Amino acid sequence: MRRLTSLALLLPMSLAACVAPMQSGMTGSGAIADLLDANGRPSGRAIITQSADGLWIDVTATGITPGDHGLHVHAVGQCTAPEFTSAGPHWNPGGHQHGRKNPQGTHAGDAPNLRADATGKGRLKSWLGAGTIANGPMALLDADGAAVVVHADPDDEMTDPTGKSGKRILCGVLRAR
């Protein structure tokens, strides 16, 4: 009985220790982008959160064709329609090749494909990789910022430097949140 009591006293403390890093990742150390299509139409949202193990991405996209779409963080925080080439190449502070399945990969900005359903809506939540939002050599929001881009075609997660993911159809400039 005495042993049970001391366990019950210890439990809340160990729980608090587990939860603390998650909370600090959710308050302040994040970035958000409103996605726009080539006509400037609101088309979803991207949120990037920093936690102890790196960056996490959560993207909701609307108004796109059903199926898989390449999704990346690009190196420049500029989305000039309609081509969105202003967003630059994939965010790649580590100097790697493209693709999560590429032995020479991966870009820090490479996310898994985003799959849209029959209504043209999709959501992708994934661990992105090592990195930070604002500080250090792997900072996402560096001097020229960063953007989230959704592509017309699936990313083969292998072919350098773009994964053959085709046209850039949605783009959103990341800002600190």
Give, as ranges, the residues between 87 and 116 that touch Zn ion (CB under 5 A): 90, 98, 107, 110
CB of 106 to Cu ion, least distance (A): 13
CB of 142 to Zn ion, least distance (A): 17
Q: Could you tell which of Cu ion, Zn ion, none binds residue 107, using a CB distance below 5 to 8 A set by kind? A: Zn ion
Q: Could you tell which of Zn ion, Cu ion, none binds residue 149, using a CB distance below 5 to 8 A set by kind? A: Cu ion
Is the bond preceding residue 21 a cis peptide, omega within 30 degrees?
A: no
- Other Cβ atoms closer than 10 A to 47: 17
What residues form DSSP beta bridges with 69?
114
**140 or 149, CB closer to Cu ion?**
149
Q: Could you tell which of Zn ion, Cu ion, none binds residue 69, using a CB distance below 5 to 8 A set by kind? A: none
DSSP state string for 117-138: -TTS-EEEEEEEES-BSSSSTT
At 127, list the tokens. Answer: 């661990």
CB of 90 to Cu ion, least distance (A): 6
Decide if residue 151 touches Zn ion (CB under 5 A). Answer: no
CB of 149 to Cu ion, least distance (A): 4
**44 or 91, CB closer to Zn ion?**
91
**49 or 106, CB closer to Zn ion?**
106
d(CA 93, CA 22): 25
Quick one: which of 80, 77, 75 has its CA closest to 32?
77
Quick one: DSSP state of residue 113? P
Residues that bind Cu ion (CB under 5 A): 72, 149
- What sign results for the dihedral spanned by CA atoms 74, 78, 84, 85? negative
- Other Cβ atoms closer than 10 A to 176: 13
d(CA 105, CA 59): 22
Which window, 38-46, 54-62, 76-84, 85-93, contacts Zn ion (CB under 5 A)?
A: 85-93
What residue ranges bind Zn ion (CB under 5 A)?
Answer: 90, 98, 107, 110
